[in-house]
Every structure is written in C-alpha cells, then in structure tokens.
Amino acid sequence: MKSCGLFFLLILLAVCESSFAWRSFFRGRGKHGFGEPKLSRKYQLPPDMWFTQNLDHFDPTNMQTWQQRYFVNEEFYKKDGPVFLMIGGEGKASAKWMVEGQWIEYAKQYGAMCFQLEHRFYGKSHPTPDLSVKNLVYLSSEQALADLAYFIAGIRHKYQIPGDSKWVVFGGSYPGSLAAWARVKYPHLVHGAVSTSGPLLAQMDFQQYYVVVEEALKTHSQACVDAITNATHQIHVMLRHRIGQMNLSEKFKLCTQIDPSKTKKNDISNLYEILASNFAEVVQYNKDNRDSSKFSNISIDTVCDILVDQKRGIAVDRLAEVSNMMLNASGDKCFDYKYSNMLDEMSNVSWKGEMSEGGRQWTYQTCTEFGFFQTSTAKPLLFSETFPVDFFVQQCTDIFGPRYNIHLLENAIERTNTFYGGLQLEVTNVVYVHGSIDPWHALGITKSSNPKTPAFYINGTAHCANMYPASKQDIPELIAVRQKVGKIIGRWLN
C-alpha cells in the first residue's frame, strides 16, 4: 500500500539516503493505499476546499474544530441526481481522482455530483498542532466515519442538495473498509457503498500476506520463487563470517556496513523485511494503471525475469540486482537497514517531518486498531523467519511508548472486530471487489451468497485495479466487473 513521500529535499543528505528503510517499514506496518490515477491528458484540477469539522465527535463537551480538506466536481451533476463521495485514506487526497477514474465514469453515467474528503491527520487535514501521542488519540476509523457523517450533513446545506438525494461512497484499500463501515454505521446518510480491496478483519499476525505474494510470483514461474529462497539461504550463510558481511554490504549498497559488534538483531530483521517488502510493493500493485509510484513500471515479470536469469550470477547476486533496481527507482543512494534510524524518523511529531506524510499516523492506527503486520511467520523459507509479529509489536512500543504493547494490541484488535463485525457484516447495498494478486484480499470478503452484498474476485488483478482509469492492458474480467458494479449502482439509485 502506497502514498509514502520522499524525504524533504535534503533534510539533509543523510536523511535522504535513509529513506529506503522507512518506506519499506511503512509497507510492513500494513500500508496499503491506492495512489493516484494515471491521467490521459492535462486538466485544470479542482482547488482545495475546506470544511469545518469537530475534533472529537464523541465528547459533546469538546467544542474544538478544525479545517478538513475536500474537493468537489459538479460538472456531471444533473438535477435531483445522486451524490458520490470518495473516501480519503492513509495518505494525502489527490485532486486527480476528481477528473478520471472509474467512479467518474459512473458519475457521468448517472449525473452525480462528486466529492472527495481527505482523512483526518493525513495530507493537509491537520486537526492538531502536531503528531504527539496525546493528539493521535483523535485519530481512529470511528472518528473518520463520523467525519463522513458530519460532512454529508453539512455539504447538503452548503450545496443545497435535496435531502432525499442518494449518497454512494467509494473507497479503495483502508478507505474500502471505511466505505463498507460507513454504510453499516450511518445507513440513513449512506445509501450504497463500493468497497474495493478493503480489509475488514483486523488481525495482528497477517501471515497470509506473504503467502499470496509467493503465489503471485509463481504465476511467473516456480524458478522465480526458488531463486528467492536460495538467495535468502545464501544471505544467511554470508552473515556468519566477516568476508560475507562485507560482500553483502557491497552487493546491496548498504549505507552502513554490517559489523558484528554494532549490528543488532533488529537491524538484521529490518534488512530482511525490506528485501521482502520490495516484492510486496511489486506484487500488490502489479500492472495497476496508477501514476503515484516510481515503481509503476516494475512488475512481477520484471523482477522474476532477473531472478531466473542465471547468467546474472548466483541467486544472491540476482536478488541484489532487484534490490538495487528498487533503490534506484526510489531515488535513494544507499540501502539503510538500521532500526534506530527508522525509529528516529517515526518518532518525529512535527507536521514538517517526513513521516507526517502518513507513516507515523498509519503506524499508530495499526498499533491501536488493526494490526495488519505482514510477518514472515507463514513462509520462513522464502523471506527468512526474522520478522515475526514480535518484531512489529516491539516497534509500537519503541515508537509510542510502553503502553503500546501486546496487551493493548490484542484488546484493540478484538474491539475493532467486535465494533465492525469482521467478515460477518450484516448490511445491504454494499459491493466488494478484490483481486487475486492483491494480498489484502485475504482479510476481505471475496465470496457472497447475498445478492444485496455481492462480491467480485478478479483473477489476475492487483490492489484497487477496478478503481483506476481504463487501460488497453485491462483484462476482460476486470472490464466486466467494472460494468457489473455500474449496473449495481444503477439498481441502488432506482
């Protein structure tokens, strides 16, 4: 999942050189955003708009407010038409979604007015002066859902939208979860919801993630998976002696050489987790028609073609080539695997810090609501056994304090599933869409016997594929699902 920004210019050169580690860490924490659409032409994008929002929807004595960013597109609206609302997620909202994307095609079809609401604490929507723990208590999915409810109520008045107009919400990834939950919690305001790639089951040890990654890589060849397994074993061996450690430092362009006297266990876990996350990045967004990632042109075929080519050297050499390709695409000069450097970035509470782009905030949500930790528990042979769930739980404690421990996590995850229903949602007028290559489908609803809540599972597509603008490379099943979802929306509106 991903809207992870680059380090601010040079803040300074050393920080720029360490960005590769935290971006990968962001993925391991469960980051799964859906990026921006690849636009077919240049547009004059809609300007930022601002909505006065409550800081705490659940404390009637707290009268504090703040300004939440949103976008609007009235171009396709027909009198008495529906209203479409795209839900923002764990990154900044993008005005590009207001001009192209599948939901815009539906808006043209049904004469809808379109809004996009940025999620609190992400992008330019800053409810508090900083990102300290005392302020992050106002960051939760429950508060975000209440933001949607108050936004709908307020916007009706501001834009003089008839009270009986039907609102349909759209979301992909975490906002896909919010879309389904908004229909559950506020059915008097939300008439229908399109939930794409949304994980509905909170789970601490999300070990299925790398199971799906492995299966996705096998769509290229078993040889690709075998090469990763062999490379991982070779790294294990090289880490045991000094010459091997020096060779690894050189092959993978490490910012800091591996030194037995200084390199800690968490550093090595971080190293392995970053290497695994490279494949997570490629698989999760494989061939999606998006424009927000420097890895957009790197697909499963791209990395596996390198890994199976024995002319390029032994397995660890080929893995290093893939790692360096991702490193170069990210614009970084070296591979920073140091756990302490990552903690320093994640502990910055300023809105001007790099992690204010979403890393610290989303990490807080995973530590207090969802878990979603993409561990090596299920497939230790493929990516090593070195980043189990304890590795991620420790990060919650190291970043936010001793209170954020395993006990808080267990209670928080149980609470989330109790509050929303997990995979046993009782709701109508929701459609779920998932792709087989997207690892997040493992925590979502992919089958449904209820005609009022149909589910589509698209073989061969990745994260949020149906949300992006149409492409010549779209497979027939993806095209068909987009059409089916459009017809379902039509039935809701009629």
Q: Which residues are catalytic?
A: 173, 438, 463
**DSSP 3-state of 320:** helix
Cβ atoms of residues 411 and 69 within 8 Å: no
Cβ atoms of residues 167 and 194 within 8 Å: no
Q: How far apart are CA 225 and CA 403, in angstroms?
A: 39
In this structure, the strands spanning 167-172 and 371-373 are unpaired
Non-local (6+) Cβ contacts of 415 within 8 A are none
Cβ atoms of residues 307 and 217 within 8 Å: no
* Residue among 130, 146, 159, 141 nearest 55 (CA): 146
* Residue among 396, 371, 389, 357 nearest 23 (CA): 357
Beta strands in 164-294 (DSSP E): 167-172, 192-196, 203-205
Quote the tokens at residue 200: 């509905």
**Left, alpha or beta for 485 (phi > 0: left; psi -120 to 50: alpha)?**
alpha
Quote the tokens at residue 114: 């379109």
* Residue the block writes with tokens 């998932």: 434
Q: How far apart are CA 474 and CA 464, in angstroms?
A: 13
Please give the backbone phi and psi of residue 379, each rounded to the nearest 5 degrees, phi first: -125, 65
Sheet of 430-435, strands arranged across: 49-54, 65-73, 113-117, 83-87, 167-172, 192-196, 430-435, 455-458
Cβ atoms of residues 178 and 199 within 8 Å: no
Quote the tokens at residue 346: 């994640």
Beta strands in 96-230 (DSSP E): 113-117, 167-172, 192-196, 203-205
In this structure, the strands spanning 192-196 and 430-435 are parallel
DSSP string, 24-48: HHHHHTT------B--SS---PPPP
* Residue the block writes with tokens 């362009």: 253
Which long-range contacts (C-beta less than 8 Å, at least 24 apart) are formed by 445-451?
445/200
Cβ atoms of residues 196 and 478 within 8 Å: no
Q: How far apart are CA 491 and CA 433, in angstroms?
A: 17
